């Protein structure tokens, strides 16, 4: 199952560059990657245009699996707040806002 989420970054060139560096191959902490997988994420990509992020995920049917908080994941999320700017419509307990799919090409073809 595919899910799509959106989040903004603070509009600061240096912060955006630092955020990208924190997500470069080998830069994300192993505990964070393990936690993402344990929640049921099979594949994940984050794309950026200016200060807007889009995260595409392939997830299991039981995503998100409830997991106890992990101290390194909490630390990572707190550090990411330096760079991130949640959208106004996002709930207070979730920075990433899930998007609603409104179009699928094969479904529109006759």
Residue numbers of the domain that contains 26: 2-108
CB-neighbour burial class of residue 108 (10 A; exposed 0-12, middle 13-18, buried 19+): exposed
pLDDT of residue 35: 98
Task: Report the alpha-carbon distance of residue 43 to residue 47 in Å, rounded.
Answer: 13
For the chain, what is the domain count? 1
pLDDT of residue 108: 74
Answering whether pTM is above 0.85, one says yes
- Going from the first residue of the chain to its last (110 residues), give the mean pLDDT of each consecutive group of 10, the final group possibly shorter: 98 99 98 98 99 99 95 97 96 92 83
pLDDT of residue 110: 66
Q: What CATH number has the domain bearing residue 74?
A: 3.30.70.100
**Terminal Cα-to-Cα distance of the chain (whole angstroms):** 24
């Amino acid at each position: 199952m595919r899910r799509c989420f959106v989040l903004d970054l603070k509009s600061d060139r240096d912060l955006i560059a630092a955020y990208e560096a924190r997500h470069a191959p080998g830069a994300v902490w192993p505990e964070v990657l393990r936690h993402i997988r344990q929640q049921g994420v099979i594949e994940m990509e984050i794309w950026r245009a200016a200060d807007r992020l889009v995260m595409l995920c392939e997830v299991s049917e039981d995503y998100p699996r409830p997991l106890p908080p992990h101290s390194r994941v909490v630390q990572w999320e707190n550090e990411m707040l330096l760079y991130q700017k949640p959208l106004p419509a996002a709930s207070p307990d979730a920075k990433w806002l899930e998007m609603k799919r409104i179009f699928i090409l094969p479904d529109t073809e006759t």
